[in-house]
Amino acid sequence: MALVSADTKIAELLTELHQLIKQTQEERSRSEHNLLNIQKTHERMQTENKTSPYYRTKLRGLYTTAKADAEAECGILRRALEKIAEIKSLLEERRIAAKMAGVYSDSDPPRKTMRRGVLMTLLQQSAMTLPLWIGKPGDSPPPLCGATPASGDYVAKQGDKVAARVKAVDGDEQWILAEVVSYNHSTNKYEVDDIDEEGKERHTLSRRRIIPLPQWKANPETDPEALFSKDQLVLALYPQTTCFYRALIHTPPHRPQDDYSVLFEDTSYADGYSPPLNVAQRYVVACKENKKK
């Protein structure tokens, strides 16, 4: 029943999103005439090679209108982003409910029956669809935006992806990509599933063994302080695996769609580091161990 109601709500939100996208285009088309007027006014001023009080007054009015138009379009786009966030949240709730009920879809089969390539594709999609934080002027990036850590009292929700420190079969400890199953407020411990072995082994871990993954990408053009800087020590998901390893930031992202370039610690290389490898913002977190092994 819950799945049906979620489907209905998602359908309603998609309809509302479609309307907002249409409104955005209408608003943009409406403002184009004013922008053209600004361009023509500047061209006339260049031709006449003077800035008269008439042109100054005219431009002031045109720019005031352009600013109001841009703010109106921005407002519609923010509402559209909120709808997208609601849809993603409902889809995640539906996925968790289906998983608990033992119902799986072709797009999200149980991990233990999933081919390796399919899992890697899902992880790439998760990184690509991580929303970009777009704040208002003066806003600071929130916790879990890019390199910004979670607040001290933050508790990851059911279904959230985290880096989890677990004991491997050989007794060594490693950081794995895991999904939160539950959190016990009495014991302050998480139950998590290894993303690569869902249902095979469940880990019970203290908070200090869990690092929440970013929930937003940071925009290098507007919020560079929310990114890890060059030579900073991090934990990064090694490409085509579900394990995090220590690495140095080689190059931070330059554009919103860019990945980090990182150097993984690797004793098989003379300088102790691998050649640069790309890792998405989604899978780069602060390293809790500062000393190099």
> Domain 1-101, what fold?
Helix Hairpins (1.10.287)
Mean pLDDT of 179-192: 95
Confidence class for position 96, pLDDT limits 50, 70, 90: confident
Encode pLDDT of 103-159 as tens digits. 655 555 555 556 778 889 999 999 999 999 998 888 999 999 999 999 989 999 999
The answer to whether residues 288 and 153 touch, using CB atoms and an 8 Å cutoff, is: no
Residue 98 has pLDDT above 90, yes or no: no
Q: Look at residue 128 in the predicted model and tell me its pLDDT.
A: 93
> Domain 224-286, what fold?
SH3 type barrels. (2.30.30)
Q: Look at residue 293 in the predicted model and tell me its pLDDT.
A: 44
Q: Look at residue 52 in the predicted model and tell me its pLDDT.
A: 87
Segments making up each domain of the chain, as ranges: 1-101, 160-212, 224-286
Query: Considering the entire predicted model, what is its pTM?
Result: 0.79
Which class is domain 160-212? Answer: mainly beta
